[in-house]
Amino acid sequence: MSYRARDFMSQSFVTFHPDMDVLEVVRKLTDYNISGGPVVDSQGNLVGVISEIDCLRAAVQASYHESWGGTVREVMREATRTVDVDDSIMHVAKLFADQEYSYYRGFPVMKNNRVVGRIRLRDVLRAFDVMSQEAGGGN
C-alpha cells in the first residue's frame, strides 16, 4: 500500500499565533509535551513555525537584557518547508533525512493552503513500522 502524509499525520495539534507571548508558548510546549508547531494568523493561514529551540534562543537572548518574554512574531521562523496531505511517506522521510531539514522534528501538513495537520519524525517511523508489518517483516 502506498501511504500518504494524511495517513499518519496528527489532526489534533497545537497552533500558535504571532501575538502570543513566548512564555505562553513555553507553557504549551511543556504541557502538551511537543517540540513546536505552526504559527497561524487569524484566518488560519500559515505564517511561520516556532519550536523549543526558538524559545530557548529567546530565553538566552533575554538573559542578557535581564527580561524574558516577547511575542511569537519576534522569535518564530518562516515556514520554509511544509508537506502536502497527498505527499508520500517516502517523500516526507526524505525531507527529514535531508541535511537542510535534519533538525526539524515535524512539518505542517497543508491542504489547499491551510494547515490541516502536523507530521512528526516519529509518525514517519510509525509508518515504516506499519509497512514492515504488512510486508511480513515484523516480529
CATH number at 16 reads 3.10.580.10
The answer to whether position 139 is within a domain reads no
Average pLDDT over residues 42-66: 85
pLDDT of residue 139: 58
In a domain? residue 103? yes
The least confident of 91-95, 122-126, 131-135 is: 131-135
pTM of the predicted model, to two decimals?
Answer: 0.82
User: Which H helix or E strand runs over 30?
Assistant: helix 22-31
Q: In this structure, is residue 64 part of a structural domain?
A: yes
> Would you say 50 and 35 are in contact if contact means Cβ atoms under 8 Å apart?
no
Number of domains in the chain: 1
Mean pLDDT to the nearest integer, 82-98:
94
The residue segments making up the domain with residue 61 are 5-134
Residue 107 lies in a domain: yes
- Chain centre distance of CA 138: 29
DSSP string, 63-130: HHHT----BHHHH-B-----EETTSBHHHHHHHHHSGGGTT-SEEEEEETTEEEEEEEHHHHHHHHHH
Q: How confident is the model at residue 61 (pLDDT cuts 50, 70, 90)?
A: confident
Amino acid, single-letter form, for residue 12: S
Q: Please, what sign has the CA dihedral across residues 68, 13, 107, 43?
A: negative
Look at residue 65 and tell me if it is in a domain.
yes
Question: Which pLDDT score is estimated for 138?
Answer: 57
Residue 117: closest CA among 102, 106, 101 = 106
More confident site: 60 or 108: 108
pLDDT of residue 44: 85
Instruction: Return the C-alpha cell found at 8.
Output: 499518519
98: cell is 535531508
Q: Inform me whether the pLDDT recorded for 37 exceeds 60.
A: yes
pLDDT digits (tens, 9 = 90+) for 12-32: 889 999 999 999 999 999 999
